[in-house]
Chain A
């Protein structure tokens, strides 16, 4: 039968969710860190009065506006997709997740309508202190937004604080327990740190790009130096946070960790498998290359501890795509190690006083520009694909979460999303690259005064064009 070879509505709906959420998260992964970076730059400017901080602030502010707007627009689609494609999931979890997502919407909405406008266009209107307050509030707000959305996601991974009503729906019993469910603190710390590193990699790459052209540009030096401090300090911290998060996952979602590690058998002195191909059919990881005992050490912090393998768990609770989880995890960790390497190189060259004079370091930093985005995406693939075959871990299966959708309808919408997203966000990213490519200058023009307060435009490009040329409307 031909129909047997066509993707099911479930597969298509999952693809559509994966496609739209990956596109969406690229933007907040960058802007969460960038908002904080802007707040730090403005604080330095207020403290020292040196123009270099304001110029660098303005340079990144233009970029922030575009990236933030694309995050808002792609997020709009997400808020409807739960209902269109995952209506059974939405129905069963709404009493618990509805208010969490509601708070996320209200927070984002409020910031967008309020302080972002002041931040973008208000420096001359409201004065320095109030403007700094707006920047700090936007930075805090992006974190608050992340707080709610990650709480909701963590609840799906480690549900807590709920009961079940007569119709099988999850109902809240303790909001505290729902919001601060067991994996939330770890996920929040790990994700926000990842966002900071993502920003550091992009800022560092842009700084390095301009140092390769003109190693004396003080603004390029400033952003490169700050980014390299972040890489040197925060990337190792992230390794520790990731280990803690992994330990938490091992405790609550053993199947996910077994998939990440490629462990089928439960064993003492479990090896850390570096490479291989986990094969669910044969129940083994083929062609594996590993280090004996290491996994016991970092998962249980005891060389002789037994590490649970997949075969100790019911077959129908194994993640559905083992190689995906296994390899996404390796991509994430590998890029994380490269970031630590970049940080160490920068420390050494800083100590040797050659931070701004070493082109290979700058090329390395440029190459690492997208690494944060890739690592963050890979990390989400690990945790989401690792949660399968459940939407609410252990309690609600993905197959039982789907809307009564027909495959052709989902296929059509998936195709439409693909076309529109590549066109729209492709143009947006192209424009961002154009902004990155412009050297940060003294007296960097900010968003000009007298512009409308356009807070959520997809690309507030004309208002923010770095070269102040007359626009057609003038």
Chain B
């Protein structure tokens, strides 16, 4: 067969996961910024700025999970048990946060409002932190024997996974701040600018620390990044991160509105690509490749017909919704 369906599915699922991270990242970031922006008027604007899109953003997570089961079952059945606790906690936090999102507009007392605001913010923190932990535990490797997870129930909890948990909280916070710069104006936008600078710096530090730790603890990573041909392929990634950081700083200086968000997304994309380079061709580090994890070719092909029709339609519709709700969100003209 001339077409490698496994590769197509790997690209599709990787894309779905990145779309999830990029899109749900900024709306989780809104919740992460709540403690820094305590005024009710500001918070209403913040929540309204993501109201039309946040639930659509989260549906990519369903596609990621469902797609992994359909296309790479071996990855699905080893990664999910290995990350049992952080994943379940994340799902519960997302459910909880979703309800808080709606309820904070329904309650009329300031006390109730404050309680739901806290629930929203905590839900965002827990979901993000768990995602970061899951990422770190995943990158560190999953112990597989035969076709099953062979590790323990607390294997995911390591200093490194805690580090990636904190890193993701900072990173989503940055995305949230940049989103607010883009979508708001006036005092709230000024505050978002003020938050974006330290958060940007912290994100860079987090990326550097995570990368350095990976290099320090893993011989495979050293070989991949410092050997050939890995170094030749990988070298542009840190260089581009540096360039984007410089552009980002300039954009904040000049009070540009869209550019900080694009730069932040660019940094996320580069980190993601860097992760891809580190892992390739494994889907369950350190041992299982995408071809080993792939399902039966007949199953790959059967679902691909549907995906080829429906995924582009969903993307078009998503783009349309973002376009429909373009422009600034102001205090008086909320969606609610």
Contacts and interface: CB of A to CB of B under 8 A. Distances in A.
A6 interface: no
A120 to B, nearest CB: 12
Interface in A52-107: 73, 75-77, 79-80, 82-85, 87-88, 90-91, 94-96, 98-99, 101-107
B301 to A, nearest CB: 9
A87 B81 contact: yes
Contacts of A90: 69, 73, 76-77
A75 B324 CA distance: 28
Contacts of A80: 65, 80, 87-88, 91
Nearest to A450: B335
Contact of A463 (B80, B89, B96, B336): B336
A94 B99 contact: no
Interface in B291-336: 295-296, 298-299, 302-303, 306-307, 310-311, 313-314, 317-318, 321, 324-325, 332, 334-336
A409 interface: yes
Contact of B76 (A76, A83, A473): A83
A117 B55 CA distance: 12
A323 interface: no
B69 A456 contact: no
A441 B207 CA distance: 58
B317 A406 contact: no
B16 to A, nearest CB: 10
Interface residues of B, number: 73
Contacts of A412: 85
A94 B73 contact: yes
B153 interface: yes
Interface string A31-67: 0000000000000000000000000000000000000
B63 A109 contact: yes
B287 interface: no
B76 A102 contact: no
B111 interface: no
B14 interface: no
Interface string A430-474: 000000000000000000001111111111111101000001111
A95 B71 CA distance: 8
- Nearest first, the 7 A-B pairs at minimum CB distance are A94-B73, A83-B80, A452-B52, A98-B70, A102-B70, A87-B77, A105-B66
Given A424-B96, A456-B55, 18 more contacts: A80-B91, A88-B148, A95-B298, A96-B299, A99-B70, A99-B302, A99-B303, A104-B66, A105-B67, A110-B313, A171-B296, A175-B298, A417-B88, A454-B52, A463-B336, A471-B336, A473-B336, A474-B334
